[in-house]
Amino acid sequence: MEPILQGWEDFARSIQPSHRLMDTIELRDHAREILEEVAAELALPNQSRTRDAQGNTAAEIHADTRVESGFSIDQVVAEYRALRASVLNLWGRREKTATWFEVDDMSRFNDALDRALAESVARYSTTARQSQDIFLGVIGHDLRAPLHALSLGAQYLMRSEDADSKLIQLGSRMFNSTVRMQAILDNLLDFTRSRTGIGIPIRIEEVDLAVLSEQIAEEFRALNPGKIIKTHAEGNVSGWLDAGRIGQIYQNLIGNALQYGMAGTPVSILTREDGEEIILSVHNDGPPIPPEVKKNIFDPLRRFADGEKCTADRKNLGLGLYIVREIVLAHQGTINVSSTQDMGTTFTVRLPKSIKPTIAA
Ligand SMILES: Nc1ncnc2c1ncn2[C@@H]1O[C@H](COP(=O)(O)OP(=O)(O)O)[C@@H](O)[C@H]1O
Ligand SMILES: [Mg+2]
């Protein structure tokens, strides 16, 4: 055990983040336990793993401490590579018996180590992701109060009767911006919430989408004088849905249509009954969505992975449609987009009029 641990420690020391020097005990922390587990697996292959009181294996605990110490994931993997190399090397230097028994043992050693590695990697990414989500959640939450203060100030300017018209205009522009920022923060919070696995919570009540869509369109008209926003409803479009969440769907889709549609052309919102479903669609004219954006339009992370750049003129986080789709799925509905040069862009959402109460927790 000792020579293996020494080799591991030397290696970990050579790659540790320079801003935080660790002592020997920290560097060796779980190596001994991981090796003991590997050895136990070699002796008794079908034995169940040893876990601590919280149900964690040594490899999982090891990953947690590495996240805390600022190791990157490839450094964690490198540590395992070093451990494997060191064991195989010491093994090879021993007097060779070269029986099949040893070959068999070696492949079982590799299996056991791979399993520990897989556990460490899985834990590392979960822990890292959770801390990112918490970080995002805290930013989103902490920005609310100062934003609220700004919004009140802007409204005060906007409504003050003795101010000159330039100030009033400035106030209303500032207020528009705070409304946009609020929408972005709401999306951010929902995004982190949906990634923690709970999904988007919905509360159903009876809601008339003709009234709701008109109300939201009216808010947009007040904020965007000069834009034409048309609403139309057909048939009975009230259902048992989450009014606030459906409002968010309209908000995001209309906001996009105004932002990306061709200036000077109207945005049309159609809400209609179709049997047991309600169909809502938001349409704008303008150049079609480029195929590379359209491919992963509901999945911001994949778009970024695909190389979408955060250009300076980007005003939003790119989470809007992701949230819209999450809300649609939580209502057991579907969403589609069609976008061509001639027909413009239309997002279409189909929602059952009443979702099954078992899922609508
Ligand atoms: N109505 C639309 N017309 C053209 N492009 C759109 C439209 N709606 C969305 N898009 C494209 O899809 C992308 C993702 O939209 P969204 O998820 O709302 O994020 P964001 O608006 O924050 O960028 C947008 O950046 C834009 O390129
Ligand atoms: Mg958007």
For residue 289 and ligand 1, the question of a CB distance below 6 A is answered with yes
- As beta bridge partners, residue 338 has 346
User: Quick one: which ligand is closest to 281's CA?
Assistant: 1
For residue 321 and ligand 1, the question of a CB distance below 6 A is answered with yes
Whether 228 contacts 267, CB under 8 Å: yes
Q: β-strands 344-352, 277-284: how paired?
A: antiparallel
What would the pLDDT profile of 51-64 be if each residue is shown by its tens digit?
Answer: 888 888 888 988 88
CA 105 to ligand 1 centroid distance, Å? 56
Say how far apart CA 310 and CA 190 lie, in whole Å: 21
pLDDT on residue 201:
77
What would the pLDDT profile of 137-151 be if each residue is shown by its tens digit?
Answer: 778 878 888 898 899
Domain 2-140 matches domain 205-352 at the CATH topology level: no
Pocket probe mutation, ligand 1, options 181, 295, 297, 343, max atoms within 8 Å of Cβ: 297
Pocket probe mutation, ligand 1, options 220, 249, 260, max atoms within 8 Å of Cβ: 260
Report the range out of 29-38, 44-53, 172-181, 301-310 with the highest average pLDDT.
172-181
The average pLDDT across 149-156 equals 91
- As beta bridge partners, residue 231 has 269
For residue 335 and ligand 1, the question of a CB distance below 6 A is answered with no
For residue 304 and ligand 1, the question of a CB distance below 6 A is answered with no
Pick 28 or 232 by higher pLDDT. 232
pLDDT on residue 142:
80
Determine which of 218-232, 271-285, 332-346 has the lowest per-residue pLDDT on average: 218-232
Residue-range domain boundaries for the chain: 2-140, 143-195, 205-352
Determine which of 36-40, 100-104, 288-292, 339-343 has the lowest per-residue pLDDT on average: 100-104
pLDDT at 338 over 90: yes
CA 127 to ligand 1 centroid distance, Å? 31
Write out the two tokens for 148.
């609220």
Reduce the DSSP state of residue 211 to 3 states and report it.
helix
Write down the mean pLDDT value for the chain: 84
Task: Give the HSE-up count for residue 98: Cα atoms under 13 Å, Cβ half-sphere.
Answer: 2
The average pLDDT across 76-93 equals 84
What would the pLDDT profile of 229-252 be if each residue is shown by its tens digit?
Answer: 999 999 999 999 999 899 999 999
For residue 284 and ligand 1, the question of a CB distance below 6 A is answered with yes
The correct CATH number of 205-352 out of 3.30.310.80, 3.30.750.200, 1.10.10.10, 3.30.565.10 is 3.30.565.10
pLDDT at 198 over 70: no
Whether 198 contacts 189, CB under 8 Å: no
CA 221 to ligand 2 centroid distance, Å? 17
Index of the ligand 1 atom closest to the CA of residue 252: 18
The amino acid present at 229, given as its one-letter code, is I
CA 260 to ligand 1 centroid distance, Å? 7
Does the structural domain 2-140 have CATH classification 3.40.720?
A: no
Helices marked H in 94-242: 100-142, 144-159, 165-195, 209-223
pLDDT on residue 196:
66
**Residue 356: band (very low, low, confident or very high) from pLDDT cuts 50, 70, 90:** low
User: Quick one: which ligand is closest to 257's CA?
Assistant: 1
Say how far apart CA 317 and CA 139 lie, in whole Å: 14
CA 336 to ligand 2 centroid distance, Å? 15
pLDDT on residue 358:
47
Index of the ligand 1 atom closest to the CA of residue 324: 17
- Residue nearest ligand 1's atom 18 by CA: 320
For residue 345 and ligand 1, the question of a CB distance below 6 A is answered with yes
Say how far apart CA 240 and CA 207 lie, in whole Å: 6
Write out the two tokens for 320.
């809007």
For residue 316 and ligand 1, the question of a CB distance below 6 A is answered with yes
The amino acid present at 157, given as its one-letter code, is L
Residue 115's CB is within 10 A of a number of other CB atoms, namely 16
Q: Please, is 219 exposed, middle or buried when counting C-beta atoms within 10 Å of its C-beta (0-12, 13-18, 19+)?
A: middle
CA 9 to ligand 2 centroid distance, Å? 49
**Residue 38: band (very low, low, confident or very high) from pLDDT cuts 50, 70, 90:** confident
Taking CA atoms, 279 is separated from 44, 66, 169, 177, in Å, by 60, 50, 37, 30
pLDDT at 102 over 70: yes
pLDDT on residue 242:
92
